[in-house]
């Protein structure tokens, strides 16, 4: 019997208090596309793709090792459209704490022999998939407090994709 595979990724979850204002702003834009479900909003640190379920203990060890990193704040201030109608929020200059966290995570994953889909890190929060082109890019200024790292499982369900938390690890307080 083969080991079942899981579609996994590490990410920063959208803070609960920010979710309603972020979704309200997004929905006010009138963009035609498939909006990301509010519960699925996140900033991906490492997409692992399909992995055997036997790698979960190793991934949990890696996640636990990230707890020494400090909390930080993201300032999301630019709406962009990428290929295939992917509409995202980005930060003009990502905080060094985010870049350090992501680099540490990638080094730990590579040391365990886990291949990553993309070596390039472009911090972003996906708002829409398959969106029509935008004529005007509105001003935006949202603050996102990064307080924990989550290992997510991506599940295809009849109602759409759902990201389920497999585990999470707090970042150290007092840094932002």
- The residues carrying an active-site annotation are 42, 124
User: Which DSSP string do the residues of 6-48 spell out, in sequence order?
Assistant: EEEEEEEEPPTTHHHHHHHHHHHT---SEEPPGGG-EEEEEEE
The bridge status of strand 42-52 relative to strand 148-157 is: unpaired
Torsional class of 60: left (φ above 0), alpha (ψ -120 to 50), beta (otherwise): alpha
Of the candidates 174, 157, 145, 122, the one whose C-alpha atom is nearest the C-alpha of residue 18 is: 145
Give the whole-angstrom CA distance, residue 31 versus residue 25. Answer: 11
Q: What are 97's two structure tokens?
A: 């704490």
Give the whole-angstrom CA distance, residue 86 versus residue 129. Answer: 5
């Amino acid at each position: 019997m083969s080991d079942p595979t899981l579609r996994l990724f590490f990410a920063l979850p959208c803070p609960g208090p920010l979710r309603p204002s972020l979704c309200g702003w997004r929905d006010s834009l009138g963009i035609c596309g498939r909006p990301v479900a509010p519960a699925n909003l996140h900033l991906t640190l490492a997409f692992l793709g399909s992995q055997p379920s036997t790698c979960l203990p190793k991934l949990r060890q890696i996640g636990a090792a990230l707890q020494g990193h400090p909390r930080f704040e993201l300032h999301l201030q630019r709406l962009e459209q990428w290929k295939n109608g992917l509409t995202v929020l980005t930060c003009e200059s990502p905080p060094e704490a985010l870049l350090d966290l992501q680099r540490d995570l990638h080094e730990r994953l590579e040391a365990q022999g886990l291949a990553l889909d993309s070596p390039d890190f472009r911090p972003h929060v996906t708002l829409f998939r398959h969106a029509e082109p935008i004529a005007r890019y509105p001003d935006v200024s949202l603050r996102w407090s990064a307080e924990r790292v989550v290992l997510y499982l991506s599940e295809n369900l009849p109602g759409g994709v759902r990201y389920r938390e497999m585990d999470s690890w707090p970042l150290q307080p007092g840094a932002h």
